[in-house]
Chains A and B, each alone.
Chain A
Amino acid sequence: MERTPYGFLLVAAGGFLGAVARHAVDVGAGAVLSGTPTGAGTLVANVAGSFALGLLLTRASSDRTFLFVGTGALSSFTTYSTFVADAVALGTPAGAWYVAVSYATGFAAAALGLAVGGRNPR
């Protein structure tokens, strides 16, 4: 499945939706906070996506679901490159704090997703 054209199509469709949703969160956060870049939108997307991926990994019912929702949508909804760009734009020391807070909340969210999903197996 994951090497088939259909598998790639599922990843592409999920990637389209994930990237669009991330951009919407970013535009929304920018509208709320207005002005200087804060990385808030990226942080929200990364933490929410990490929780959801943890949950999905313990609950995904098929390869198809995982390719579309996991590899496609959630992995594209979250981003590492924009996270690094935001940290650089914030400068020191704010950028270092941004990395630390993203890491701490992202790992906690992923662990929580895995724990919640694993607690009540289907």
Chain B
Amino acid sequence: MTAAPIFATALVGVGGALGAVSRHAVGLRVEGRRSVLLVNALGSFALGAITAAPIGSTAALLLGVGFCGAFTTFSSFAVGTVRAASETGARAGAAVAASNIAAALPAFLLGSFLVAESFG
């Protein structure tokens, strides 16, 4: 069963608001690019777990599309990478670009694996 469009929108919006606030809270405690790396890795781990979990579309919209989608960010990552490259050099930019995918991709797969194992 899929959620009605207006209900789906509300779920995504509420999840998005909570995800954004949580990301902001991390950003107040951890400095700039490291905070982006941290939320992207943590949020990808969580989304991997959610994707593998036997949950309905309601929880998937709220937690996956809304919360994890908004907790992690591509725009801050892209601007941070460009700024690192222009301020410190191409190698610094490449390090920011590589570290995010090197942390987030295994995190997503690990989250997915752990949940699949525990429900398998």
Contacts and interface: CB of A to CB of B under 8 A. Distances in A.
A13 interface: yes
Contact of A84 (B14, B21, B44, B73): B44
Interface residues of A, number: 52
Interface in A76-122: 76-85, 87-88, 99, 102-103, 106-107, 109-111, 113-114
19 contacts: A7-B24, A11-B21, A12-B17, A12-B20, A13-B17, A15-B70, A19-B13, A22-B65, A23-B69, A54-B78, A71-B23, A72-B20, A80-B43, A81-B104, A82-B69, A103-B97, A106-B78, A110-B81, A110-B82
A46 B20 contact: no
Contacts of A82: 47, 64-65, 68-69, 72
A23 to B, nearest CB: 4
A80 B70 CA distance: 9
Interface of B: 8-9, 12-21, 23-24, 27-28, 40, 43-44, 46-48, 51, 61, 64-66, 68-79, 81-83, 97, 100-101, 104-105, 108-109, 112
B78 A79 contact: no
Contact of B16 (A19, A57, A67, A80): A19
Nearest to B41: A80
A41 B97 CA distance: 21
Contact of B27 (A23, A71, A102): A71
* Closest A-B pairs by Cβ, 4 of them: A19-B16, A15-B20, A76-B70, A78-B74
B97 A16 contact: no
A11 B70 CA distance: 11
A8 B48 CA distance: 27
Interface in A37-78: 45-46, 49-50, 52-54, 57, 67, 71-72, 74-78
